Every structure is written in C-alpha cells, then in structure tokens.
Amino acid sequence: MQTPRAIRRLRRRLRTTFATRKQRRHALVGPLALWRQKRDFQIAFLRGQGLQPSHTLCDLGCGTLRGGIPIIDYLEAGNYTGIDVRAEVIEEARRELAEHHLEHKRPELIAAADLADLHLDRRFDVIWAFAVLIHMSDDVLDRALAFVAGHLAPDGRFFANVNLGERPSAHWRGFPVVWRPLGFYEAAAAAAGLEVTDLGEVRNFGHVTGDERGDTKHMLLFRPADREARG
C-alpha cells in the first residue's frame, strides 16, 4: 500500500518524465499549475509599487526568469540584473530569454555560488526576491541582506515575500523552506543596516492562486536604515 507522500512523489515523477522541455524548465522554480499566475503577479506588483522603465532592478534568485521576462520587457535596456545560485538554472534563464527575443534588452544574468563574493559596481533602485528568502538558511540570509545593503541606492527598495510565523522547516529541491517571525527579519535587517516594513499578505496585492501557503506569504519592504541622513 503506497503512502500519500509516495503517491505524490510518483505523480511528480510521471509529470516530469512526460513534460516538454519548457515545462521542465518552468518546474525548476515551482509548481507548473501556478507558473503563469506567479509570472503575472510579479510585474503587476512591481508596477503597482511604482517601478518605472528607467529604474534599475536586481532580481535576486531570478530562477529561469518566470518573473524576469515581463520585467526585462518593461525596463529599458541594460536595467535588469538577475542572479541565481544555481548555474544550470541561469543557463535555462538564458534559453528563456532567447525564446522571448529579448536579448536586445541586455539583461545581465549571473550565477553566484555565494552572494558574499559578489560585488557589482552599481546600486539598484529596486531589488526583488520572489520566493527566495524562504529558501535561505539563517547564515545565507545574513549574506543576502549584506549584499542588498551594499547594492541598494540610498532611496532604493528591496521587496521580498516570506513565510511569517513559526513552523518546522521543510525542503524543496535541496533548499530549506523556512518560516520566521517578523522580529527575526527586523533583527537581521538591522544588523545589515536596513529597516523592514511588513506590507501584509500577498493576496492583498493580487496574489490569489487558491494555494493558501503562497497567498498568505507576507511581502516585506527593506530600505536603508540611514536613508534620511544620507539623502
């Protein structure tokens, strides 16, 4: 007799075996059934927050450009930078870009094994991490926030959705899936010289997929703590 978990695993394996190349690419960043909604949400959210074509944006944990393609399309050439820890995923992102004929937008796509070793010679108006901080252990999160602090413009904004609360961590494709209280993010942000505001559940911004875990994630806004003094 198969357990429900084993049945789910078998179903997943069957879906992967019979998936097209494109479906396999899309599955590298989450469930296929929600792929379109999660792509559409990202650009809609960012435009709702005032993203302009002239802004520069760093997509931290860009994956295969599920969110990145409409953002690259919207921004002026040279204004998008995507970073991911998985080199093979960045390769798929390059294929996705080519299939959408968007190379003329000259996005920079970077595979970075450790954000502590990545020093880009510029600061961004917006840094964006969709479904990424939830996959970081505490030490990786600290390095990511230090990267953000070092690459955000004085009046720049870093948006990231997270699981708020306390639950045992789970796993996804070799990454942890973590829940943390808001106070944890406040302390980690302060240590990096950032301050954080909880903007509320993403479903209030149109992320309504029917998947409770995704729709009830909170969107956090991080900004430089000393922005008034610097501005």
Ligand X SMILES: C[S@@+](CC[C@H](N)C(=O)[O-])C[C@H]1O[C@@H](n2cnc3c(N)ncnc32)[C@H](O)[C@@H]1O
Q: How far is the CB of 66 from ligand X (least distance, A)?
A: 3
Q: Which stretch binds ligand X (CB under 6 A): 59-67, 99-107, 151-159, 190-198?
A: 59-67
The two three-digit tokens of residue 20, written as one number: 């097209």
Q: Does 151 bind ligand X (CB under 6 A)?
A: no
Helices 138-151 & 182-191 angle (0-180, nearest 10): 50
Q: How far is the CB of 28 from ligand X (least distance, A)?
A: 7
Q: Does 86 bind ligand X (CB under 6 A)?
A: yes
Q: Does 135 bind ligand X (CB under 6 A)?
A: yes
Size of the site for ligand X (CB under 6 A): 21
Residues in region 152-191 near ligand X by CB under 6 A: 175
Q: Does 148 bind ligand X (CB under 6 A)?
A: no
Q: Does 145 bind ligand X (CB under 6 A)?
A: no
Residues in region 2-41 near ligand X by CB under 6 A: 29-30, 38
Q: Does 107 bind ligand X (CB under 6 A)?
A: no
Q: Which stretch binds ligand X (CB under 6 A): 6-14, 80-88, 158-166, 192-200?
A: 80-88
Q: Which is nearer to ligand X, 28 or 199 (CB)?
A: 28
Tell which residue, 155, 126, 129, has the closest CA to residue 140. 129
Q: Which is nearer to ligand X, 110 or 227 (CB)?
A: 110
Q: Which is nearer to ligand X, 30 or 107 (CB)?
A: 30
| Pair type for strands 218-224 and 194-201 | antiparallel
Residues of this chain that interact with ligand X (CB under 6 A) are: 29-30, 38, 61-63, 66-67, 83-86, 89, 115, 130-132, 135-136, 140, 175
